[in-house]
Structure 1
Amino acid sequence: MERAIAHLDLDTFFVSCERLVNSSLNGLPIIIGGGDRGVVSSCSYEARYFGVRSAMPIHMATKLCPQALVIKGDMQLYSKMSHLITDIITAEAPIVEKASIDEFYLDLTGMDRFFGTYKWTSELINKVKKESGLPLSYALSINKTVSKIGTGEAKPLGTLYIPTADVQSFLNPLSIQKIPMLGQVTYTTLSRIGIRNIQTLSQMPIQILQQILGKTGVDLWKKANGIDLTPVEPYRERKSISTEHTFEEDTIDISFIKSLLLGMVEKLAFQLRSEQWLTSTVTVKIRYANFDTETKQQRIPYSAADHILNQIIYELFDKLYQRRMRIRLIGIQFSGLVHGNYQINLFEDTQELMTLYHVLDQIKKKYGIHTITRCASATLKHKTKASNTNK
């Protein structure tokens, strides 16, 4: 049975959310980002016309487009709208993968037995637009790669259907930069040997690409030939990561407990960023000396930043710990996960802070998670015994 995979992408999501609550922004060049030393998290098509792009330093973006209106961004609003759209889509589609805060894959294979897949998808899109008020584009094809590329070509506010017979003719003239996950380094490597469009890449001997790029070369050759067997992974809101620490001796040392929480957040936040997750729900758990267990949970704007999550964890702990009894166990959990880039949460942060997170994460990946740690959590290891849980 031929697969039918739809890719949905909300057009300039952050900008569209801002325009939804403030119609006076319609038609204006908009930049979403934080301060003169921050970076562009998103921008309108009007700003893109002048060369503004995501991840560009704000000061550079405003030089390219001096008339642009810079908005700090409201992650609370964006998270709310993302959850709303997720609820609409998951209530209708059989298999949904939430690829990021504003991007979805739908596996509609077999639905043509009952009604036209393209027509059904178009009706779903209209429902999302009507109930959310937000614009989006989508493409329908035989796999995730072709559908995602199709959505990119359909934007803004476009739709595209690419049946099997048209896949190669659709892909061939496009730049290899259109292939998902093909970065600048790989593009430069291929460009130097004359491979700049997908047709050339698809006609290269796979053995040569493997010699040049290893497994990545094989994967790119398959995508260039319209081959992608990657399944649509069903979206599960309950997916979470968590960690717990049991004290060797029950304690009431709050300063020590908060230092411990700091280290736990640092560890889990690093895991979130490494696996490209953002969390929308934070939970703190306390088990007292008498084995009574209590939890407190809070829904938050999507994040994977230590400094943001630390503040939430401390606030939840202060609200939860009311008995003034000795504590036997402390735990935290990040749930409501969605794939996404940490950058989208840094509206108030500087480019230097983003770079710092990136460098620290790279060091931890190369030399181990305990290579660099916060001073407050560095001396805790010998005082506790830990257990980690991933769900």
Structure 2
Amino acid sequence: MIIHLDLDCFFASCERLLDPSLAGKPIAVGGRGDPFIFAPTSRRNIDVTLENSGAFVPTLFYDAQAGFDDYFVEGGRVRGIVITSSYEARAFGVKTGMTIREALRLCPRMIVRPPNHLFYHDRSHTLKQWLQKRIPVLEQYSVDEFFGDVGGWIPDRKVEAFCHTLRREIESTFGLPITIGAAPSKWIAKLATGAAKPSAGNGVKVIFPETVDNFVNPLPIDAFPGIGRGFSKRLKAYKIETLGDLKAAKHLLYRWKKPGIQLYHRVNGDDNEPVVAGRDRRSIGISRTIDPVFDRNEIRRRLIILCRHLAHLVGKIDAHPHTIFLGIKYQFGQKSKRSVTERFTFSELTLRRRVLELFDTIDIYRSLAIVRLGISCGNFAVKPVTEGSLLTYAADLKAQKLWQQTAIVRKKYGIDTIRSAVEMI
């Protein structure tokens, strides 16, 4: 059997660890797209962490360490969206992704806290280490979700008791409420977790092989993890409303090639996808959504800042990337992206040069404002790259040594400790 563990209202629960007086009150943690990373003044409470892994685990965080007005109010307006909310707030209709202003209209008494991401990730990493001693194969899916394979270790008939014990131990040891689902496959286990949530169940839901169809078939397609808005709309156009309908439409899903075939077998519970304890990191990226910016010099300044943070991440894992990617999004939804692959001596300076060159190449809608920037490094070499242009190799090597020395200082005192002059303009 495979189990899926989902920490309930994780960020809100962590805030209650920091402030026990919040227990039982409607609370929410909000975010603002991290405008502070681009501030000309130094922010010592920006940091990166690679301790947690998973497809939905970011690496760069800003710990607000501020009050509501300092973080959420700008120009007399309340800015930001709800990242997560407690069940008390959800009872008023508060949802993730809702603007803070709308959420406060629904629940005026709700307490909204700025995020403390580094604390959340510290709790997640500590829990992960604890779980690794109790579950043979553990995979971190996100900062607040884990998969575990207990097959051959816990007999199927004892899985439910094991999950209840594990749940009680986590709540008593860490003070974090958690829900656990169990099933023969990963995605049915994740689906079971939804049925075990406090709003619907008692915290644990086990689906045995002989009960998979009875559990899955009546559920609406939107309940299944991985069926997004676009795929849902596509399925409903064929009158597929429930997961049972989807399972009966094998011929249709197979016509949609890999995405459709994968979804069909996940819903059927026979995908045989393993729980993977660790994956090699293939790329590292950083992206930010921003208020519309027309000034291209300001965009270049922000790209330089993103390069500084991304280079720090690359240095933390001692990676040697061959590929650099840049993507931009414009105010009306237009997008432009491109990557470059070459052998070069990596440093913050060489990364910056290539990103700015890419920007000059792909900025094809120069009359439009830009609302999102994203850069990433990938295609990592097994060992340090010594190839490159003979004309620039000596200078690149010098830049790399300087970057490595600044990384030592930044690791001790913060990423903003050493910055380029252009960043502070």
Question: What TM-score range do you get, normalising by the shorter chain?
Answer: 0.5 to 0.7
> Residue in 1 aligned with 2:145?
103
2:245 is the alignment partner of 1:165: no
Residues 241, 126 of structure 1: CA spacing in aligned structure 2 closer, same or farther, 3 A cutoff? same
> Residue in 2 aligned with 1:186?
231
> Residue in 2 aligned with 1:13?
10
Which one of the candidate residues 371, 380, 383 is aligned to 1:389? 380
- Relative contact order, higher structure (CA 8 A, sep 6+): 1
2:253 is the alignment partner of 1:209: yes
Q: Offset of 1:178 from its aligned partner?
A: 1.3
2:89 is the alignment partner of 1:44: no
> Residue in 1 aligned with 2:20?
23
> Residue in 1 aligned with 2:404?
none
The answer for unaligned runs of 5 or more in structure 2 is 32-71, 73-77, 289-301, 319-326, 341-350, 360-376, 383-425
Residues 378, 367 of structure 1: CA spacing in aligned structure 2 closer, same or farther, 3 A cutoff? closer
Is the contact made by 1:241 and 1:333 (CA closer than 8 Å) also made in structure 2? no
Residues 32, 191 of structure 1: CA spacing in aligned structure 2 closer, same or farther, 3 A cutoff? same
Which one of the candidate residues 365, 369, 386 is aligned to 2:339? 369
Tell me which amino acid in the other structure corresponds to 1:210. Y
CA distance in 2, matches of 1:230, 1:241: 20
Q: Offset of 1:128 from its aligned partner?
A: 1.8
Residues 188, 114 of structure 1: CA spacing in aligned structure 2 closer, same or farther, 3 A cutoff? closer
2:203 is the alignment partner of 1:175: no
Residues 374, 24 of structure 1: CA spacing in aligned structure 2 closer, same or farther, 3 A cutoff? same
Q: How do residues 78-227 of structure 1 correspond to structure 2 at under 5 angstroms?
A: 78-112=120-154, 116-156=158-198, 158-204=203-249, 206-211=250-255, 213-227=256-270
Q: Offset of 1:59 from its aligned partner?
A: 2.2
Q: Offset of 1:87 from its aligned partner?
A: 0.9
Q: Offset of 1:363 from its aligned partner?
A: 7.7
CA distance in 2, matches of 1:62, 1:73: 17
Tell me which amino acid in the other structure corresponds to 1:20. L
> Residue in 2 aligned with 1:234?
277
Is the contact made by 2:304 and 2:352 (CA closer than 8 Å) also made in structure 1? no
Is the contact made by 2:183 and 2:189 (CA closer than 8 Å) also made in structure 1? yes
> Residue in 2 aligned with 1:269?
285
Give the match's secondary structure for 1:129: helix
Is the contact made by 1:240 and 1:334 (CA closer than 8 Å) also made in structure 2? no
CA distance in 1, matches of 2:141, 2:212: 22
Is the contact made by 1:240 and 1:333 (CA closer than 8 Å) also made in structure 2? no
Tell me which amino acid in the other structure corresponds to 1:378. L
CA distance in 1, matches of 2:261, 2:185: 17
How high is the sequence identity, in percent, across the aligned residues?
32
Is the contact made by 2:246 and 2:264 (CA closer than 8 Å) also made in structure 1? yes
Number of residue-to-residue matches in the alignment: 286
Give the match's secondary structure for 1:148: helix
2:420 is the alignment partner of 1:378: no
CA root-mean-square deviation: 3.7
CA distance in 1, matches of 2:189, 2:29: 27
Is the contact made by 2:303 and 2:355 (CA closer than 8 Å) also made in structure 1? no
Is the contact made by 1:8 and 1:103 (CA closer than 8 Å) also made in structure 2? yes
Residues 117, 307 of structure 1: CA spacing in aligned structure 2 closer, same or farther, 3 A cutoff? farther
Is the contact made by 1:240 and 1:390 (CA closer than 8 Å) also made in structure 2? no
CA distance in 2, matches of 1:308, 1:92: 41
Is the contact made by 1:176 and 1:198 (CA closer than 8 Å) also made in structure 2? yes
Q: Offset of 1:124 from its aligned partner?
A: 2.6
TM, length-normalised to structure 1: 0.64
Per-residue CA deviation, residues 144-179 of structure 1 (Å, 9 max, x unaligned), is 011000001100261011100111101111111111
CA distance in 2, matches of 1:308, 1:118: 49
Is the contact made by 2:303 and 2:356 (CA closer than 8 Å) also made in structure 1? no
Residues 306, 22 of structure 1: CA spacing in aligned structure 2 closer, same or farther, 3 A cutoff? farther
Give the match's secondary structure for 2:314: strand
2:315 is the alignment partner of 1:333: yes
Tell me which amino acid in the other structure corresponds to 1:221. Y
Is the contact made by 2:28 and 2:86 (CA closer than 8 Å) also made in structure 1? yes
TM, length-normalised to structure 2: 0.59
Tell me which amino acid in the other structure corresponds to 2:115. G
Is the contact made by 2:187 and 2:269 (CA closer than 8 Å) also made in structure 1? yes
Residues 162, 111 of structure 1: CA spacing in aligned structure 2 closer, same or farther, 3 A cutoff? same
CA distance in 2, matches of 1:187, 1:210: 16
Tell me which amino acid in the other structure corresponds to 1:64. L
Is the contact made by 1:84 and 1:132 (CA closer than 8 Å) also made in structure 2? no
The answer for unaligned runs of 5 or more in structure 1 is 243-267, 274-304, 317-330, 337-355
Tell me which amino acid in the other structure corresponds to 1:106. G
CA distance in 2, matches of 1:380, 1:172: 49
Give the match's secondary structure for 1:24: helix
CA distance in 1, matches of 2:315, 2:98: 33
Tell me which amino acid in the other structure corresponds to 2:106. L
Give the match's secondary structure for 2:83: strand
CA distance in 2, matches of 1:175, 1:233: 28
> Residue in 2 aligned with 1:247?
none
Give the match's secondary structure for 1:134: coil
Give the match's secondary structure for 1:228: coil
